[in-house]
Chains A and B, each alone.
Chain A
Amino acid sequence: EVQLLESGGGLVQPGGSLRLSCAGSGFTFSSYTMNWVRQAPGKGLEWVSGISADGGSTYYADSVKGRFTISRDNSRNTVDLQMNSLRAEDTAIYYCAKDKGCSTTSCYPVLDYWGQGALVTVSS
């Protein structure tokens, strides 16, 4: 059974830093692109960042570029999101999500498994 478990959420002051971690199990972690998606209270989904299976390519939403850094450790089956210079508008539930990956004929970079989320609150 595929499982994604986020940790590291909490309350942080504006301008502060926080590191989220996501542990994956039940699948070959090193074979899949991993993502972070956030959802502000009562709002829609916002894709935040993604990292390729080997960690060689990273992608960011404009809203977090230069402040957030995604990384992964395939030996520990974890993907992290380092969040710096946090703002009130970064307050959200942060979900870790796995790409569906590829079949024999096609690749589908859609999010087929999600964690339950970690709440990040940026407030003084």
Chain B
Amino acid sequence: EIVVTQSPATLSVSPGERATLSCRASQSVSSNLAWYQQKPGQAPRLLMYGASTRATGIPARFSGSGSGTEFTLTISRLQSEDFAVYFCQQYYNWPRSFGQGTKLEIK
């Protein structure tokens, strides 16, 4: 099973600033990595797939990069609605493991 690790666990950033979230896989997953956003009391929402392709309706301030084992989600010019928990998930093989999440909070 591929283990996915996210860092940091909590990230404190001010509105209008940039946030950088990291995700690492225990073995290469090529570009088979997705990012999800989850707000309290809601189901997760797909943000990014193929490491760098935004899902439908996702604003351009969200960008993804990386391949192999190291990935990054960057949110430029943070807005109030962006403060949430973010999960990455590898889909290179089964089981499709998630990282433990990064909570993005207002500084």
Contact = CB atoms under 8 A, between A and B. Distances in A.
Interface of A is mostly: strand
A24 B100 CA distance: 28
Interface of B is mostly: loop
B50 interface: yes
Contacts of B91: 108-110
A88 B93 CA distance: 28
Contacts of B98: 37, 44-47
Contacts of B50: 106, 108
A35 B38 CA distance: 18
Contacts, number: 58
Interface residues of B, number: 23
B101 A45 contact: yes
A62 to B, nearest CB: 7
Contacts of A95: 43-44
Given A109-B91, A110-B89, A44 B99 contact: yes
A111 B1 contact: no
B43 A115 contact: yes
A50 B38 CA distance: 21
B63 interface: no
8 closest Cβ pairs, A-B complex: A114-B43, A110-B34, A110-B49, A59-B94, A45-B98, A44-B101, A47-B96, A44-B100
Interface of A: 35, 37, 44-47, 50, 59-62, 95, 100, 106, 108-112, 114-117
